[in-house]
Amino acid sequence: MMQQQNSSSRFEVSERSETRADITVIELSGQLDAHTAPEFERFLERVVRDEGKRKLVLDFHGLEYISSAGLGVLMGLIEEVRAVDSNSSTTGGDMKLAALPEKIFHVLDLLGFPIVFQIFPTVREAEAAFL
């Protein structure tokens, strides 16, 4: 688990496997802002690039705040997650969003994120969408 703390914000991100080993659930909590977005980006890059995980569910239930920097991290990696690797048998994956607090969903909805990302009420429903 990565923890980022400073005087104005607290952010935590952790990875867990749920019902299926090929699906990675990434749990976010606290405040994802300009100070914590670079660490979140490094965390996601490790999961996607180093570990080769392509079926991701981001669990937002504990997230209190997300800034444009945090949203940029999501947009910056979605194409890479969905890309098909022609050099291997890797098929394209996806990044699904789940359990968004109402105020965060409202921001994402205003910015058109539901057009780019599938958003689900629960982690279980997001996982089931991969089946």
26-84 residue pLDDT tens: 999 999 999 999 999 999 999 999 999 999 999 999 999 999 999 999 999 999 999 87
**Token pair belonging to 6:** 């400073």
Task: Tell me which residue range forms the domain holding 52.
Answer: 3-128
The CATH number of whichever domain residue 63 belongs to comes to 3.30.750.24
Q: In 9-122, which residue ranges form alpha helices assigned H by DSSP?
A: 37-45, 68-82, 102-110, 113-116
Domain count, the chain: 1
Q: What's the rounded Cα separation, in Å, for the pair 102 and 99?
A: 9
Global pTM reads: 0.87
Q: What's the rounded Cα separation, in Å, for the pair 130 and 32?
A: 26
Cα atoms in the Cβ-side hemisphere of radius 13 Å centred on 94: 13
